[in-house]
């Protein structure tokens, strides 16, 4: 039995129409009909064809793995895919970063002001001895003053600069959705169907590429923020970055 026949038979046994499968997977009816007829030209490439097979199989209750293996045997094994080839356009998610104060510039400005005062007193129309005594007194007072200590907030800020925040991903499915996560080296961290009512959590230190087969059927939060562009209803690929938060 071919891939299309297996999916069509699973759909009929589940009592679903092509329209209902399209609504559950957000895949166009013409593409579903083509896949059931053995035509994958409307999928837009092997990568998306495999994603459509997984989404349709999950919607009709069929195990997608044998179908993916059959697709690879008949259509060709998957090749290595770069982010530039597949994940375009990519929506980077980068959290806002606050710059720490430039204390070196502040101290330099303060020293310039003090030097200007000393120069004015030195060249003013006062006796040279009085100007020298005044400068010595001021130098003594300056030397006796304690150096400003680094405040706890600055220490915490400096520590955060050296310890980037981790990437916390939380996905809650309101409808069935095929999800895939890969690291920058192309290693698959997760690939499968997340069924309605289920929640998945991941914590990563580096950039993650996330593919959502049905973005309108899930709620995604990355460090508390939604990375999915508003109005997205078809399959989308997101590039998620762990940024420093202060």
pLDDT tens digits, 190-242: 988 899 999 999 998 888 899 999 899 999 999 999 999 998 988 889 998 86
What local confidence, expressed as pLDDT, does residue 95 receive? 45
Contact 169, 240 (CB under 8 A): yes
Mean pLDDT of 94-117: 72
End-to-end CA distance of the chain: 57
pLDDT at position 156, please?
47
| pLDDT value, residue 137 | 44
Q: Does the pLDDT of residue 10 top 80, yes or no? A: yes
Of 204 and 87, the one with more pLDDT:
204
Whether the ω angle into residue 89 lies within 30 degrees of 0, i.e. cis, is yes
Provide the pairing of β-strand 188-194 with 177-182: antiparallel
Q: Is the pLDDT score of 33 beyond 90?
A: yes
pLDDT number for residue 98: 58
The number of CA neighbours under 13 Å toward the Cβ of 39 is: 9
Pair of tokens at residue 63: 């195990």
What percentage of the chain carries pLDDT values higher than 70? 69
**pLDDT at residue 11 is higher than 60:** yes
The confidence score (pLDDT) of residue 91 equals 43
pLDDT-derived band of residue 9, with 50, 70 and 90 as boundaries? very high
Mean pLDDT of the chain: 78
150 — pLDDT class (breaks 50, 70, 90):
low
């Amino acid at each position: 039995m071919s891939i299309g026949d297996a999916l069509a038979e699973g759909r009929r046994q589940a009592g679903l129409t092509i329209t209902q499968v399209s609504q559950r997977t957000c895949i166009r009816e013409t593409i579903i009909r083509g896949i059931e007829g053995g035509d994958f030209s409307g999928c837009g490439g092997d990568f998306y064809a495999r994603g459509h097979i997984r989404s349709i199989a999950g919607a009709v209750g069929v195990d997608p793995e044998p179908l993916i293996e059959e697709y690879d045997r008949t259509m060709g094994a998957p090749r290595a895919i770069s982010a530039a080839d597949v994940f375009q356009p990519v929506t980077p998610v980068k959290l806002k970063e606050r710059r720490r104060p430039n204390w070196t510039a502040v101290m330099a400005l303060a020293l310039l002001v003090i030097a200007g005062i000393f120069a004015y007193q030195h060249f003013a129309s006062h006796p040279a001895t009085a100007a020298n005594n005044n400068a010595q007194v001021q130098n003594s007072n300056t030397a006796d003053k304690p150096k400003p200590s680094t405040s706890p907030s600055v220490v915490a800020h400096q520590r955060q600069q050296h310890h980037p925040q981790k990437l916390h991903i939380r996905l809650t499915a309101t409808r069935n959705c095929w999800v895939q996560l890969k690291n920058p080296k192309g290693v698959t961290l997760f690939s499968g169907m997340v069924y309605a009512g289920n929640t998945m959590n991941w914590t990563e230190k580096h950039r993650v590429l996330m593919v959502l087969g049905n973005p309108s059927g899930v709620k995604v939060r990355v460090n508390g923020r939604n990375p999915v562009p508003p109005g997205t209803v078809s399959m989308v690929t997101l590039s998620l970055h762990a940024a420093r938060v202060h």
